[in-house]
Amino acid sequence: MINELTKHELGLLIETEYDEIAQQYLRYFNISSLSASYLFNGPPGIGKRYLAKLFAKLLVCESYQANCSCQSCLNINNGTHSDILHFDTDSNCDLNDANHRNHNSDGSRSIKICQIKRINRISMLSPTTAKYKIFIVSNINLMTPEAANALLKTLEDAPQSTIFLLIANDINNVLDTVKSRCHIIEIPPLNFQKIQKILSKKFQIDDHVASDFAILSRSRIDSASQLANNQENVDSISKIFSELSQILNAKTIDRINFAENLNSIYRSDPVLFHLILNCWEDWFRWHLYAMNNINIAPSFFNKNSSFSFNNIISNLKNIAYAKNQLAFNVNSLVSLQILLLRMQGSD
Ligand SMILES: [Zn+2]
Ligand SMILES: [Zn+2]
């Protein structure tokens, strides 16, 4: 896992790479009537929080430029700026709120009303050193409906010196009434080349290795860094691909056995499980790209030319179907057995 220090360094690198995009958005911050709330929307793991932090710097640092080292910017980098406050699903609650109880047994990862009530209370205070008090709230697509309504009230009531930078992975799960209060900024994922550049710089690895990680991460800078940061991940990825080719040639009984193994991974290590299914999907996608002369595949990928178009599409459909079944809590062992039995080797 990435430790706090490397997370910070990574943030600086992302900041440099995103600076170009940030410049395009600068105009939102130069207008005389600054919006009271902004909503950054984009896929998970692409650096939205860093970008929000960068915008917070633009608002509190007079002479902002990339990698500025004034005291304000340093404090923001260290997470110690008294007027830049971060919130997420695990943030503290307002302990006096009537809705608050011990959430340890909830098991759900959501933003609850008692957490928003605390934000509400703090948002009424004046900034201490900066011109603005800035609230960076991640994962607002994971708010409970009660929390979303409380946030709406907070956005409406907050004083002019308070600015909200809200972050969502999926804007479709954000209440329309909240969206309508925000200036929405769509954040695109960094492209493969930029991720490759960040990884090469940060981990000092060869460009082609960095490019492999960028492709395997599906443009998620967080996953790409985790892959590059740990040799064990690289080993487990090569194991995933060698197992896949074995499965495609395996007999029924071996497939049934593999489904059982996969099911226990699903139960014990969901992150690894999803990595496996994503790698399988990617492997078939790379075949499709190669058929169409699109050169997106890691350096270790060897196209198996005996796969037909229909064969690849049917494998992709079966993986997508299994993922969908699992998302609806269908019996996981049965779903995985069906998937394994349906997976087709070359024609
Ligand atoms: Zn600065
Ligand atoms: Zn609570």
* pLDDT tens digits along 252-282: 999 999 999 999 999 999 888 998 999 999 9
CATH number at residue 140: 3.40.50.300
In a domain, 216, yes or no: no
Same domain membership, residue 157 and residue 25: yes
Check residue 73 and give its pLDDT. Answer: 87
To the nearest 10 degrees (0 to 180), the angle between helices 309-327 and 332-342 is 180
In a domain, 122, yes or no: yes
Give 61 Cα–ligand 1 centroid separation in angstroms.
Answer: 4
In a domain, 38, yes or no: yes
Give 77 Cα–ligand 2 centroid separation in angstroms.
Answer: 28
What burial class does residue 188 get, using C-beta atoms within 10 Å of its C-beta: 0-12 exposed, 13-18 middle, 19+ buried? exposed
Helix/strand/coil for 137 = strand
Q: Which domain holds residue 89?
A: 4-186
Same domain membership, residue 29 and residue 153: yes
Same domain membership, residue 235 and residue 182: no
Of the residues 160, 186, 212, the one at which a domain ends: 186
The conformation of residue 143, written as its DSSP 8-state character, comes to B
Q: How far apart are CA 318 and CA 326, in angstroms?
A: 12
In a domain, 219, yes or no: no
| Number of structural domains found in the chain | 2
Amino acid at 270: P
In a domain, 107, yes or no: yes
In a domain, 215, yes or no: no
Same domain membership, residue 239 and residue 118: no
Check residue 103 and give its pLDDT. Answer: 83
Give 65 Cα–ligand 1 centroid separation in angstroms.
Answer: 7
Check residue 31 and give its pLDDT. Answer: 44
In a domain, 8, yes or no: yes
Give 185 Cα–ligand 1 centroid separation in angstroms.
Answer: 23
Same domain membership, residue 164 and residue 27: yes
> Which residue ranges in the chain fall short of pLDDT 50?
1-5, 27, 31
In a domain, 61, yes or no: yes
Same domain membership, residue 133 and residue 17: yes
Check residue 1 and give its pLDDT. Answer: 31
